[in-house]
Each structure stands twice: as C-alpha cells, then as structure tokens.
C-alpha cells in the first residue's frame, strides 16, 4: 500500500466522505491555513516535526483539497523542507512514476484524495464506464472530474482512453491497461465530439459512435468505430472518453 493510503488506513478512514484533509494534516503535525496568496497556489514551511501549509483560498474546493494533499505529499516525502508551488506544479497529469519532487507530491495527493482501495470497489460496482458515472464518482470523493477519471482509467480493465484537448490539439492521453499501446492523434479532428465540445460547450451528451479515424492516424483504421463521449472541464479543455469497441483494433494497432 502506498504511503497516503497507509495513513488513511492507520487513521481508520474507509469512506470518501471521511477524508477530511485538514484533520488528516493535523494528525501528521501539519496545519493548513487557507488564505490569499500571490504568485503561488500553495506552500509549505516545514521544520523537523511541524509544518505550516498555506493554500490559496479563492480556488475551487476540489482544487483546494488536491493542493493541500500535494503539500502533505511534500511533508511526507521531503520532510523538513519548504516548497512554494505554482499552479503549474500541482496536478499535472503526466508520468506518475517520475521522481521529480512535484510529481511525487502529486502522486501522494491523488492517493489521499482518491485512494485506490476505496475507488476500486466502486469501479467494479459501476454497470457502465461512462463520463456520467465518473462525474458522479468525482462528486462522492469531492475530487475534480479530471483527477477522478485519470484514476479510474488507470484502474479499469475496460478498453478505454481518456484524452484532454484544447484547440491546438491533444494535451495528454491516458490509455487503460487493456488499451495500452494505442496512441491517439496529436491534433484535434473538427468532426470529433471533442472539437464539438470546445466549439460549443454544452450539456454532456451520451457516448456516440465515431469513425476511429477521427482519433487515430493509422492505415485502414477507418473501418473501425469507437464510442466517444466528451465534456468541457472547468479548465476550459475538453475531456473525452474513447471506448474501443472491437478487440481487433487493439490487436492490430496497439504496440
Ligand atoms: Zn509542490
């Protein structure tokens, strides 16, 4: 079990609603103070056994939780040190195996806010793996949809890919284990649901079938369809969940 999950277990916390970040911080000798900050989103002033954490008070509640968790990650992994973390240091969904201090703190925050041992059973109980279900899941963990969706995609055996776009193209992608090796296009196809959401953000539509060529640039891939469902995130990007409908697409193109 990873350190943040270990801590939750030691504290006897087993339900999402009981993940009280301020109380958890108190238990490990850190105090969180929400206040106005300029030039950074959160910071920790750490000594040997006590830390003070400042988190910007005028950010979204889900973001506040994650940023506080990020500083607790610094407290766990980089005890005694002080950090000043800018918005771009916190919650960047890239390689979670990175040893970079900011990524290590992010991984801790994700484990604290969305612990695997709580989310895995909920994923198993989900009848469908859709954005609607993931939004609901995010709500129960008071976490952002993006962070929750990344977590869920990393844990599920459904053949899905989660992708974030802006108008300039793909920002990042996370394939699930069963879709591993598939790589979506760098650009954004103007016919895709992701582009539609960016151009005219609207209510979450159900998943729709789209030609796989909207998403992948590979020879003859147009004979396959995928299910795509897109939404606009608070970050102003589109978040799309692609479901691979045909195992053959994976067999041919994933490597
Ligand atoms: Zn940091």
67 and 36 Cβ atoms separated by less than 8 Å: no
For 92, half-sphere exposure in the C-beta direction (CA atoms, 13 angstrom radius) is 16
Residues with Cβ < 8 Å from 149, sequence gap 6 or more? Answer: 131, 134, 138, 162, 239, 241
Domains and CATH numbers, the chain: 3-113 (1.10.10), 117-253 (3.30.450)
**Tens digits of pLDDT across the chain (255 residues):** 899 999 999 999 999 999 999 999 999 999 999 999 999 999 999 998 999 999 999 999 999 999 999 999 999 999 999 999 999 899 876 666 667 899 999 999 999 999 999 999 999 998 889 999 999 999 999 999 999 999 999 999 999 999 999 999 999 999 999 999 999 999 999 999 999 999 988 888 899 999 999 999 999 999 999 999 999 987 789 999 999 999 999 999 998
* Strand boundaries in the chain, DSSP class E: 30-35, 42-46, 51-56, 83-85, 160-166, 169-175, 208-211, 225-232, 238-244
Question: Residue 16 C-alpha to ligand 1 middle, in angstroms?
Answer: 24
Q: Is residue 32 within a helix (H) or strand (E), and if so which, with residue range?
A: strand 30-35
> Which DSSP state fits 6?
H
> Strand 30-35 vs strand 51-56: parallel, antiparallel, or unpaired?
parallel
Q: What is the pLDDT of residue 98?
A: 67
Question: Residue 56 C-alpha to ligand 1 middle, in angstroms?
Answer: 13
Question: Residue 102 C-alpha to ligand 1 middle, in angstroms?
Answer: 5
Q: What is the pLDDT of residue 94?
A: 62
If we measure between CA atoms, which residue out of 4, 212, 189, 193 comes closest to residue 105? Answer: 4
Question: Residue 187 C-alpha to ligand 1 middle, in angstroms?
Answer: 30
Residues, CB within 5 angstroms of ligand 1 (ion): 83, 85, 89, 102, 105
Q: How many angstroms separate the CA atoms of 146 and 77, rounded?
A: 24
Question: Residue 85 C-alpha to ligand 1 middle, in angstroms?
Answer: 4
> Could you tell me how far CA 69 lies from the centroid of its own chain?
14
> Could you tell me how far CA 117 lies from the centroid of its own chain?
16
Sign for the pseudo-dihedral over CA of 183, 136, 125, 19: positive
> Which DSSP state fits 69?
H
Question: Residue 199 C-alpha to ligand 1 middle, in angstroms?
Answer: 33
Question: Residue 206 C-alpha to ligand 1 middle, in angstroms?
Answer: 37
Question: Residue 179 C-alpha to ligand 1 middle, in angstroms?
Answer: 31
Q: Beta partners for 170?
A: 165
Question: Residue 68 C-alpha to ligand 1 middle, in angstroms?
Answer: 10
Question: Residue 67 C-alpha to ligand 1 middle, in angstroms?
Answer: 8
If we measure between CA atoms, which residue out of 182, 251, 167 comes closest to residue 216? Answer: 182
């Amino acid at each position: 079990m990873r350190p943040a999950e270990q801590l939750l277990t030691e504290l006897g916390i087993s339900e999402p609603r009981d993940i009280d970040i301020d109380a958890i911080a108190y238990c490990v000798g850190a105090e969180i103070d929400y206040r106005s900050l300029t030039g950074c989103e959160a910071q920790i002033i750490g000594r040997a056994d006590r830390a003070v954490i400042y988190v910007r008070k005028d950010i979204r509640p889900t973001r506040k939780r994650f940023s506080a968790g990020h500083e607790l990650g610094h407290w766990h992994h980089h005890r005694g040190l002080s950090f000043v973390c800018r918005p771009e240091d916190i919650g960047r969904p890239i390689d979670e195996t990175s040893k970079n201090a900011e990524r290590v703190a992010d991984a801790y925050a994700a484990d604290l806010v969305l612990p695997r041992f709580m989310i895995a059973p909920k994923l198993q109980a989900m009848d469908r793996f859709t954005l609607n279900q993931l939004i609901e899941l995010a709500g129960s963990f008071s976490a952002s949809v993006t962070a929750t969706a990344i977590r869920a995609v990393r844990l599920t055996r459904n053949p899905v890919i989660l992708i974030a776009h802006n108008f300039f193209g793909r920002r990042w992608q996370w394939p699930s284990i069963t879709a591993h090796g598939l790589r979506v296009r760098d650009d954004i196809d103007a016919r895709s649901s992701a582009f539609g959401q960016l151009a005219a953000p609207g209510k979450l539509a159900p998943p729709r079938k789209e030609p796989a060529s909207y998403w992948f640039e590979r020879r003859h891939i147009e004979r396959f369809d995928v299910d795509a469902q897109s939404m606009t995130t608070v970050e102003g990007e589109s978040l799309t969940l692609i479901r691979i409908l045909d195992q053959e697409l994976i067999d041919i193109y994933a490597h």
